[in-house]
Amino acid sequence: MKNIRVYVDTSIIGGISDSEFQKASLEFFEQVRNNQFHIVLSALVQEEIVAAPERVKQFLNELKSNATVIEISEAALKLREAYMKANIVSKKSSSDALHVALATANNCPIIVM
């Protein structure tokens, strides 16, 4: 069975050290370890994780070895702008719109946020 490409947002990674979201985050990453999903991480996730606790940074580094890491492309930036122009999201949610645009531009049918 072909693994489904799943775009992983920063919050699901940070969830491993948040008592409210830890159980769900760890269950998701267990499914990743069991090859149910192939995760896609972006340069944006790497930028956002800089302020995270050391445990979260280390977890991200471990994830990268089995993930596809994508750069922020011109196509994704244009798509983000289209979302904002169409008032799908506000300027306040610009980074969320970029996550969605990156997932879309890189053929990820699922986004985990």
pLDDT digits (tens, 9 = 90+) for 22-40: 999 999 999 999 999 999 9
> Other CB atoms closer than 10 Å to residue 55's CB: what's the count?
11
Its pTM surpasses 0.85: yes
* Nearest CA among 73, 3, 2, 32 for reference residue 13: 32
What would the pLDDT profile of 52-101 be if each residue is shown by its tens digit? 999 999 999 999 988 999 999 999 999 999 999 999 888 889 999 999 99
**What's the mean pLDDT in 43-56?**
95
Sorted by sequence, the CB contacts under 8 Å of residue 77 that are 6+ apart come out as 98, 101
What CATH number should be reported for the domain whose range is 4-112?
3.40.50.1010
